[in-house]
Structure 1
Amino acid sequence: MIGGRNGYTPADDSPFANRIFDPAAVDHFYDAPEQVKRMLMDYYGSTNYSVVDLDVIQALYRRMYQEKVLGQERLRFMHASRVVDLVEDADRVRVTVEFLPTGERTAFEVDAVVCATGYRSSDPLQLLGELGEHCLRREDGQLQVERDYRVTTGGDVRCGIYVQGPTEHTHGISSTLLSNTAVRAGEIARSLTHAAAPALAG
């Protein structure tokens, strides 16, 4: 494992941290100023991003330590490092790694390289074709989304367009969690039902 940290970061699944996934927390996040939203995302990143369960980390460390003591090192962690070169042969890959504090480089051969670099959500408007041009964006280019997950559109659009997932910038870190899908779907269903209900004469 080659990375900038000393190893893996434990996932924060403590009860207090998990409150960030409650529907009430989504309300608070949605109404918060942008700088507060960024602060909250920084605070709670360890609940969902680049983190590993603590028991897995401990098992990996024990295995690494045992292999080192026995002189049979197969599991190796190269911290504060980055890959600077890859050369692929017929059945091997030559990897050059730089240790960032000193600039020292180490080359070795492996069977395969897995790049676990994360991902960025795709733009959901790509699925809408020309209709996407009627969806409004914020100043930072992100999609404008209402609290009920409805995309904000121009006045000429009469239908509702709802999104599930790419709303972290407006609804917080729970937006991408599968465990919250039912809650989001329920809110969207209520919004659709309310929008379709006939107006009652007073």
Structure 2
Amino acid sequence: MAKTLTQNKIKIAAQKLFAEKGMDGVSVREIVAAAGQKNMASLHYYFRTKEDLARVLLLDAAEVIDAERVRLMDAAEAAGGPKSVQEVLEIFVASAVLPNNDPRSNSNIRLFLQTFQSDAEFVQKTVADSGDIGYFRCLGHLKKMMSHIEEATMKRRIYLLQHYVFNALAARERAKSVAGPETPLWKDDGMMKELLKTAENLLLGPTDLE
């Protein structure tokens, strides 16, 4: 029990720090201190290196998101859906928003973005074998619903969708964790509705911009 508790303290402290500063911007000493541990060897004992700890956190984050995405997609398909792009986007976004009682709720998306900025190859290699079953199911439904759009345009829009959604959700996490001018905006339920609607417009908007 004590071992698990210490591991969790280190993971929670590291995730918050990585989300704020990126992997390269955080030292082992900072992580250990934030976890309330006196001995720097505690991190090496449980996780060997800072990089190994980051891998564990990224895999945990990917798995919790995809497990929820699979659950929501199972429910939608059992009900004969998803029936619209908006319904797929609701699943795509909702699965990435963790419950407020989860200590990772203000850092899960930022963990990915900050670590990616530090070392994109490290993130890609880490999550390459995580499955992403729910992600690809969402993608499959979107592609069917966008079949009237030329393939190259569709690929660009889906690529932009991911950047748009995850950067917006990272801003939401940041606003929840540090009070600032953005915080009141994200306390308004209408912000998530606007995120979904604008994401839909990004995918289905007119293709002829001239």
What is the TM-score normalised by the length of structure 2? Answer: 0.26
The structure with the greater share of residues assigned to helix is 2
Higher relative CO (Cα under 8 Å, sequence separation at least 6) belongs to: 2
The structure with the greater share of residues assigned to strand is 1
What is the TM-score normalised by the length of structure 1? Answer: 0.27
